[in-house]
Amino acid sequence: MKKYYLLSFTILLLINSCSENPVTGRKQLVLMSTEQEIALGQETDPQIIAQYGLYEDKNLQEFITAKGNEMTAISHRPELKYEFKIVDSDIINAFAVPGGYVYFTRGIMAHFNNEAEFAGVLGHEIGHIAARHSVEQQRNAILGQLGLLAGMIIAPDLAKFGNEASQGLGLLFLKFGRDAERESDELGVEYASKIGYDAKEMASFFKTLERKSAKENQMLPDFLSTHPNPGDRYVVVGELAKAWKEKLATNQFKINRNSYLKKIDGLIYGPDPRQGFQEGNIFYHPVLKFQFPTPAKWNLQNTPQIVQMAPEDGGALLSMQLAEEKELQTAADNFIEKNQLNVVTTSETTINNLSAITVSGKQQQENQEEIQILSYFIKYQNQIYVITGIASTTNFNNYKSAFINTMTGFKPLSQPDKLNKQAERIRIKTVSQNVNLQQALKAFNVAANRLEEHAILNGMELTDKVEKGMLIKIVE
């Protein structure tokens, strides 16, 4: 009898959790109301901005907001309050989170070559929100009891330690299946077409992504990625765009190449050294004026909040970030308490004439291997820099020398060439005569080893003809 009531209650709960999908009109099982969806977006947005920072460009921001508002008005969920933002990352990507938040990296804005390409991707991201793909994925995660830590390059016990390995966890919700991507492609074409853009240009942009991937001999980064790239995507999107042109019975579709290129003139291209950069095996930060050595052949990931380094085997993690506290002992004590460390040693010291405290400890988690932690708290310019190395107790000594070399190598930065290093920027140039793209690029002094990079950036082949008066992108 008890089992019967439990089953009945469960069925009733699932029925009450069904809602109509705004795009398909079909009933779907969701465990999140619209209000909860909006609240999730409101909670996630400041985390994304804190992690990656906003790219400040008033004109470009006004452009994406205007186009976003125009498109959401004809979408399947116009009632949501949408926000459109450019994040300060050179990764080529766009992504959306529940509740109406859409983000473009400056990296993807640099690689669009007209407004129509942008509009297609904008529609794709609004499509994810309209079709409630993030909500569906949240449902699947709960019903399937999926762990957020799946896919981390290091062991889960390390990932759970403090914030050091948590980067990107909230964004794992943004990786959608192929069916969801296909539906968002369809919506992207529909929405872009309805506001007057030639949606076939979105297909052309996929070619740019494929070429970028091939040039770097790797898959496109799926960090923040919502865009797996099926082989037939270019063809399918082209066919969808043709169908919408016929359905809307007009040939008046915009591409707006020149107007878009003028909007991105001066856009930062690639990594911004003002946020910190690595040369050889040294990491420099010209704004905060520090440097430290990095372990050879370790991967490094730099964001406004944290610098993380890890060997390819994923057996250790080394990070550097600022403490909230302003005093060394307070920072060290709070770190120990927050992470429930079994302290082995702690001592006061100096690192390159800077006051510091070292903390060595262990942490045992249930049903997992014990981990060992070494942290250096270094006071510099009224800030506390925390450099932490983490590995399993079994393997800790294999990485200890690498940890200590980085920690004791932290020092003030004074070299003028590092302090004054500036970012490269997109510059829009006017072709002076009828030539091919390669000849035009050489006329603007583009180095031979960067010609193909520039061709991809311009969405063209080096052999393509360019006419006098045509605008092209140059990186300077």
Summarize pLDDT for 292-348 with one digit per residue, the tens.
999 999 988 888 888 989 988 888 999 999 999 999 999 999 999 988 899 999 999
Amino acid found at 412: P
Average confidence score pLDDT of the chain? 83
The tokens of 434 are what?
């009828």
Rounded CA separation 266/55 (Å):
12
Rounded CA separation 154/225 (Å):
20
Average the pLDDT over each of 212-226, 359-373, 439-453 and give the range with the smallest value. Answer: 212-226
The count of C-alpha atoms lying within 13 angstroms of the C-alpha of 300, restricted to the half-sphere facing its C-beta, is 20
The predicted-structure confidence for 195-237, as pLDDT tens digits, reads as follows 999 999 998 898 888 888 777 654 444 333 444 454 577 888 8
Residue 240 has pLDDT above 80, yes or no: yes
Rounded CA separation 202/116 (Å):
7
User: Per-residue confidence at 11, pLDDT binned at 50, 70, 90?
Assistant: very low
Residue 207: the pLDDT is 85
Reported pTM: 0.81
Q: Are 193 and 199 in contact (CB under 8 A)?
A: yes
At 346 the three-state DSSP class reads strand
Range list of H helices, 228-304: 233-248, 257-263
Higher pLDDT, 440 or 233: 440
Both ends of the chain: CA-CA distance in Å?
75
Residue 180: the pLDDT is 74
Rounded CA separation 284/290 (Å):
6
Burial of residue 232 (number of CB atoms within 10 Å: 0-12, 13-18, 19+): exposed
Let me know the angle formed at the C-alpha of 379 by 400 and 406, rounded to the nearest 5 degrees.
25
User: Per-residue confidence at 29, pLDDT binned at 50, 70, 90?
Assistant: very low
Residue 171 has pLDDT above 60, yes or no: no
Residue 23: the pLDDT is 56
Residue 143 has pLDDT above 60, yes or no: no
Mean pLDDT of 351-361: 97
Rounded CA separation 49/46 (Å):
5
Average the pLDDT over each of 60-64, 285-289, 367-371 and give the range with the smallest value. Answer: 367-371
Residues 6+ apart with CB under 8 A from 50: 304, 305
Residue 230: the pLDDT is 44
- In this structure, the strands spanning 101-105 and 83-87 are parallel
Q: Residue 179 to residues 136, 239, 384: CA-CA distances in angstroms?
A: 12, 17, 47
Is the Cα torsion angle 435, 437, 443, 448 positive or negative in sign? Answer: negative
List b or e across 376-411, with b for residues whose CB sees 16 or more CB atoms inside 10 angstroms: bbbbbeeebbbbbbbbbeebbeebbebbeebbbbbb
Residue 313: the pLDDT is 83
DSSP state of 173: G
The tokens of 325 are what?
């506290």
Rounded CA separation 202/111 (Å):
12
How many other CB atoms are found less than 10 A from the CB of residue 259?
Answer: 13
Mean pLDDT of 441-447: 98
